[in-house]
Structure 1
Amino acid sequence: MRVIETERLLLRPVTVEDGDRVEELASDYDVSKTTLNIPYPYPEGGGKEFIESVIESEKNGKIAILAIVDKETQHLLGLINLNIAIPHKRGELGYFIGKPYWGMGYGTEAARAIVAYGFKDLALNKIYAAAFTTNPGSWRIMEKIGLKHEGTHKQHVSRFGEFFDLAYYGLVKEDYLKEANQD
């Protein structure tokens, strides 16, 4: 996978060396509670194990995952990915940004870039994402990058013993190209 450059960021392939930093950022409860998959407490050594598993999945074309890196400081700020359903040419967008970097537009900048990558380079037909309705930071990113609200699934998931509604957003390639041609 290639490196994607934005105004402030480099989206580059993850490496096992990123494991400690991923673990550091993902260990924050406030980060964990906004996701379905980041465990809390985060297990020691879990960052490296996670990266090893996604690198293997990437070889099979099931995921495209990138480290979100500040161009100026070279600090890893978070991760972004597309979980790919190959038969349907569909990708589910997922991301997390470390709490010290929340509210700075990094998530939006990275998400916009990986959506373009998904449609142009991976030839996906649809990209979609879901977020807890209680996490406006995440679903606002989806809106800012052009994904449209497709519905809310009531009490769809359980996290830390509580049920949550999930807001689903999506964008098909045809609509993405129409929007791109208007700019």
Structure 2
Amino acid sequence: MQLETERLIIREFTHEDQDAVHEYAADPVVTTHMIWGPNSEADTRDFIVHMLRLQAQKPREGYELAVELKDSGKLIGGTGLYVLPASQGEIGYCFNRPYWGKGYATEAAGALLRYGFRELGLHRVYATCRPGNIGSATVMRKLGMTYEGHMREHMFHKGKWHDSHLYSILEQEYDALQRQL
């Protein structure tokens, strides 16, 4: 699978991506708000192996994709879409720190929204972020997602309970936004 945007190629992960993924997955600042990391080299290797297994699923339940710059081919992060029951999906993204604040997460996640609604026939797509992750919340708002609420201590990781903010967008809302562009 491969998607293209104005500046990005969004494609399947390969074994050759391990070093580029590890560059951001091992960064404690990048992984501050993630439920994983910072990664050891073994963690990143296991991630790549898991991604290759995910690619082989039939029917496919998840799409974790590498994001690379179209002009240079440099892998700068990843984005994912998981297909859930009742025509719903969950998106997420993680980018190497030098590429924060440049619109790449919005561009990549926007391509996955389009794929989810147009190709997979999803009705609703949602995403979550930790309350302190202002950058991620900004991405969700730029995508046209609506803030649905604050989930208190709903997940346990890294030795403690964490809150999340929940955002979503419905197919008809997505369609209306596309007509405005």
Pairing partner for 2:123 from 122, 125, 140: 125
Shift in Å at residue 81 of structure 1?
A: 0.4
- Which position in structure 2 is the counterpart of 1:83? 82
Cα deviation, residue 108, structure 1:
0.9
Whole-Å Cα distance in 2 between the matches of residues 13 and 59 of structure 1? Answer: 11
Figure out how many residues of one structure are paired with residues of the other and give that number: 179
Partners of 1:23 and 1:45 within 8 A in 2? no
**Partner of residue 53 from structure 2, selected from 33, 56, 62:** 56
Alignment of structure 1 residues 22-61 onto 2, 5 Å: 22-36=21-35, 38-40=36-38, 42-60=39-57, 61=60
- Aligned-CA RMSD value: 1.5
TM-score by length of 1: 0.91
Q: Does structure 1 retain, via aligned residues, the 8 Å contact 2:12–2:55?
A: no
Could you say which residue in structure 2 is the equivalent of 1:170?
168
CA distance in 2, matches of 1:161, 1:49: 21
Please tell me whether the aligned partners of residues 3 and 10 of structure 2 are also in contact (alpha carbons under 8 angstroms).
yes
- 8 Å Cα contact 1:126-1:171 kept in structure 2: yes
Counterpart residue identity of residue 156, structure 1: H
User: Does the 8 Å contact 1:31/1:99 carry over to 2?
Assistant: yes
Aligned to 1:146: 144
Inter-partner Cα distance in structure 2 for 1:44 and 1:73: 25
Distance in 2 between the 1:119 and 1:55 partners?
Answer: 24
Given that 1:133 and 1:164 are in contact with CA atoms closer than 8 Å, whether structure 2 keeps it comes out as no
Once the two structures are TM-superposed, the CA of residue 142 in structure 1 deviates from its matched residue by: 0.4
Measured in 2, the distance between the counterparts of 1:133 and 1:45 equals: 29
Quote how far apart the aligned CAs of 1:47 are. 2.1
Give 3-state SS (helix, strand or coil) of 1:178's partner: helix
Give unmatched runs, 5+ long, in structure 1: none
Counterpart residue identity of residue 88, structure 1: A
1:103-160 CA distance string (max 9 Å, x none) = 1111111111111111111221111000001001001100000111111112333443
8 A contact 2:9–2:68 mirrored in 1: yes
Cα distance in 2, alignment partners of residues 123 and 52 from structure 1:
28
Given the alignment of the two structures, is residue 112 of structure 1 paired with residue 98 of structure 2, yes or no? no
TM-score (norm 2): 0.92
Letter in 2 for 1:67: A
- Cα distance between partner residues in 2 of 1:100 and 1:34: 17
- Where 1:88 maps in the other structure, the secondary structure is coil
- For residue 181 of structure 1, report the CA deviation from its aligned partner: 2.1
Aligned counterpart for 1:180 among listed residues 155, 174, 178: 178
